[in-house]
Structure 1
């Protein structure tokens, strides 16, 4: 089973979400506005982009 790490930098107007794999490669990096529809959209599970893959 692979491990991933996720972090959020919370701010007043925007937040920034980052997901890294076990080797430290960035799988996801997303700026999210601090409003309910944006936060709900960001919290829905999505397949992170994998290096070298077209998804």
Structure 2
């Protein structure tokens, strides 16, 4: 769902760097919540980068 603020898409208002940070944090949460015992199975940086690179293929 895309949010609009006075004719501008919300994602256009967020600087590219911040979008990358939010995307990384979202991927961390998705990977953490996808396994049993989520806190003990928190993903490492490489796991998150693998997920993000698969998303952008």
Q: TM-score by structure 1 length?
A: 0.28
The structure in which a higher percent of residues are strand is 1
Q: TM-score by structure 2 length?
A: 0.27
The structure in which a higher percent of residues are helix is 2
